[in-house]
Amino acid sequence: MNLPSINPTTTEAWNKLQTHFSEINEVHMMDLFKEDKKRVDKMNLSWKEFQVDFSKNRITDKTISLLLELAEELGLKEAIELQFEGSKINQTEDRAVLHTALRDFHSMKPEVKKSLQKMKKTSNAVIKGTWKGFTGKPITDIVNIGIGGSELGPKMVTNALKYYSNDLKIHYISNVDGDHVSETLKKLNRETTLFIIVSKSFTTQETMTNANAIKNWFLQESTQLDIEKHFIAVSSNESAVIDFGISEQNVFPMWDWVGGRFSLWSAVGLSTCCAIGYKNFEELLRGAHEMDLHFRNEDFSENIPVVLALLSVWYNNFFLSETEAIIPYTQYLEDFVPFLQQAIMESNGKSVDRNGNTINYQTGTIVWGNVGANAQHAFFQLLHQGTKLVPVDFIGFSESLYHNKKQHEILKANFFSQSEALLQGTYKQSISNAYRAFSGNKPSNTILINNLTPKNLGSLIAIYEHKIFVQGIIWNIFSFDQWGVELGKKLTNKLLGSL
């Protein structure tokens, strides 16, 4: 069955939202807080170890109910079911969209179970040192060779969960920049390095160029027979992997029903699994699955991904905000924004709707950001006093992992005060110097999580995955293809020929 395909601007809810926008556009949030003492309690979602405060948005109860009406009118509920049931909702590629099946331990597909078992066995052997290199030494370094979804997700999670890591050193090579490859290789010992080539297609130019260069480097001091001790591949193109010279037992599967940018939960995450151990990797999956259940079953008014997605539509399509910022208050999440940039912008950067018509409203949000507090000293000036309205997601943790209480209090004080400053500005204060005045009324969400565990990270990533899905449904686009990257690839090859 196909997804519903209604132009959102033709719905009743959209028209009502348009009228409502003109009522609310000039209203200051500080007045809304004054008028409704229960605002903070009402606009707060509490779920397991997550608190999502969305009270600092330019909304009233009416806004929320109209946005929920919009979701109803556009068939969001049935769309969610179609996704989870495995309908081929990626219609332009005739594929199902089932990254959620990678973490559903209750009704797991046999091939997923088998792949997880293989990941467990391999990661255990590498961690325990029973996987030996060609001279009999245990592995000390792992190099993930892949780009886009074959790097951004695993790299982000590996770094985010460093606290849970063992001593293996994990490296990521993605760019077809020979200098970066050389810089990485110069630190490595062939005898103790394991290379994981991750490419769903096994044809991606950057990945295959790097993989071949690295294979040649490896073979300078070893033989073809040694490859099986040092090269693993994760791909859905098994024959190309075998042609490359990797033995069958070292191939991990990828499936056409998992998009690259949603694949960190599969064997694409093998580097992460080696870094943090299988048990922690499974916790990551379980955390994501819990969020899947919440997303699938919870009422939309209490549903974290749905509410966050609708708020984002509110700013994107009615306030015509150009971008959104994401600011995690932990150094561990320094790769979170680049990961989300691919997930969000490759999914929803579309301008043709599900009926094949050119779209005349805004779709995909542009997301950017960096970790707080660093970002405060870099681009927050523009958030506070610039001319653009940039809704912000603040992500923070109640506790630090090393229980460094004193410093964590300072980090948290920064985390809470920035959203407060964006909200209040210098509201109703008489500031004689215009340069020192802040208009305030700048929207933000505050996502506060108990602590950074593998499980909570899994849930957090799944929130954003589902937010992407909801927005794609609202905008009537196909979120799971990426035809827009093809032309550039073709022209690169053409140019390469003429160079």
Residues that bind ligand F6P in the complex, under the rule CB under 6 A: 147-150, 199-201, 204, 207, 260-261, 346, 482, 485
8 Å CB contact between 455 and 287: yes
8 Å CB contact between 480 and 93: yes
User: Which one, 139 or 211, has the nearer CB to ligand F6P?
Assistant: 211
Annotated catalytic, 187? no
Find the shortest distance in angstroms from Cβ 202 to ligand F6P: 7
User: Which one, 260 or 369, has the nearer CB to ligand F6P?
Assistant: 260
Annotated catalytic, 248? no
Find the shortest distance in angstroms from Cβ 177 to ligand F6P: 16
User: Which one, 23 or 256, has the nearer CB to ligand F6P?
Assistant: 256
Find the shortest distance in angstroms from Cβ 492 to ligand F6P: 11
Find the shortest distance in angstroms from Cβ 201 to ligand F6P: 3
**Strand 193-198 to 231-235 pairing:** parallel
Instruction: State the Cα–Cα distance between residues 258 and 65, nearest whole angstrom.
Output: 33
Find the shortest distance in angstroms from Cβ 226 to ligand F6P: 25
The residue annotated as part of the active site, out of 191, 283, 324, 346, is 346
Of 246, 128, 236, which Cα lies nearest the Cα of 195? 246
User: Which one, 51 or 237, has the nearer CB to ligand F6P?
Assistant: 237
How are strands ordered across the β-sheet holding 444-449? 44-47, 50-53, 444-449, 392-397, 323-328, 366-368
Say which amino acid occupies 136: G
8 Å CB contact between 426 and 437: yes
Annotated catalytic, 489? yes
SS3 content of the chain, % helix, strand, coil (to 5): 55, 10, 35
The residue annotated as part of the active site, out of 377, 403, 405, 406, is 377
User: Which one, 228 or 481, has the nearer CB to ligand F6P?
Assistant: 481
8 Å CB contact between 325 and 388: no
**Strand 366-368 to 323-328 pairing:** parallel
Give the CA diameter of the chain: 77
Active site residues: 346, 377, 489
